[in-house]
Every structure is written in structure tokens, then in C-alpha cells.
Amino acid sequence: MRNTTSTLVTCGGKITCARCSAKSKRTGNQCGKPALKGKAVCQLHGGRSTGPKTVAGKARQRTAVLKSGNYTKEAMEDRARSVRVLAGLEDAIYILKMTNAPRVRGRKPLGHVPLKTIDDVIQFVADNPLHLSERSGKRRS
């Protein structure tokens, strides 16, 4: 564990100030510069940055850091919804005794309501219709 200090003493002990809390990725050592007044880091590590304040500035920043779209709010909500449906399907499989395999380990998704009775399964299927693709319903001649 590296030695980190929150204060920096300079000028032969005459000046005491907050030390920059940034750490090097390469060495793991703490920055040796004093932090800016009222900030945790020095100007080199972003102490002067105030971030975007206007709605337009925040939108520009959001689009500037967007790389793939996998972590947009809509994409994350869509994945969460899909995982909740899968957890419900797993509950339905065990209630209908369609398998005797062990259940999936780990935490259930946020917002998952466990199915406990056959009536719960019927309500789940009514709320979450599983759409088949258009091609699967057509037969080839």
C-alpha cells in the first residue's frame, strides 16, 4: 500500500495546504503538487474544470464520450427488461416442472418479482407476450 497524505507542507514548514489526491497509474504514487483552493486535485489533474453547466453543454459532453451506444440509458433499460423477462421465464419453467436442472445462480435483476404459482405464470405470459419472428410461422414449399 502506498503512502498517501492529505496535506502538503512547503516553504520550510511555513505553508500547509491540501495535497493533490490524483495517483499515477504507472507507479501508484500520489501527485506531489498542492491542490487548488477548495478542490481535491491540482490544475494539472483537472482542478480548474467546472464541467458543463448548460443543458446544451451537457448534451455535447454526452455525445462526445459516446462510443458504441451500449451504455446509453435506453440500451441499459432494454437489457434490464430482457433480463427480467428471462428470470420470469426461468421461474415459469420451474413452476410448470419442465426441468429438474439447478437454477441459475446469482442475484436476480432489479425489479424482478418471483413467480410462485401457476396463476402468476399465466399473468406473466399475458403481460409479456413472446413474439415469434415472421419467418418462423411460414413454411417453405
Tell whether 46 and 77 lie within a shared domain: no
Tell whether the model's pLDDT for residue 134 goes beyond 60. no
Q: Grid coordinates 432494454 are at which residue?
A: 78
Distance from C-alpha of 96 to C-alpha of 68, rounded to nearest angstrom: 40
In a domain, 87, yes or no: yes
In a domain, 64, yes or no: no
Tell whether the model's pLDDT for residue 107 goes beyond 80. yes
* Mean pLDDT value of segment 114-131: 89
Distance from C-alpha of 50 to C-alpha of 59, rounded to nearest angstrom: 16
Give per-residue pLDDT as tens, 43-81: 888 887 788 889 999 888 888 877 888 888 889 999 999
Tell whether 83 and 127 lie within a shared domain: yes
- Cell digits of residue 118: 401457476
Tell whether 81 and 125 lie within a shared domain: yes
Domain around 14: 1-50
Distance from C-alpha of 89 to C-alpha of 98, rounded to nearest angstrom: 11
Tell whether 77 and 35 lie within a shared domain: no
Structural contact between residues 41 and 21, judged by C-beta atoms closer than 8 angstroms: yes
Tell whether 46 and 78 lie within a shared domain: no
In a domain, 60, yes or no: no
Tell whether 34 and 81 lie within a shared domain: no
Number of domains making up the chain: 2
Instruction: Please give the model's pTM, rounded to 2 decimal places.
Output: 0.51
Which residues contact residue 110 at a Cβ distance below 8 angstroms, ignoring those fewer than 6 apart? Answer: 80
Q: Grid coordinates 448548460 are at which residue?
A: 54
What's the confidence (pLDDT) of residue 141? 47
Q: Quick one: 15 exposed, middle or buried, by C-beta within 10 A (0-12, 13-18, 19+)?
A: exposed
In a domain, 107, yes or no: yes
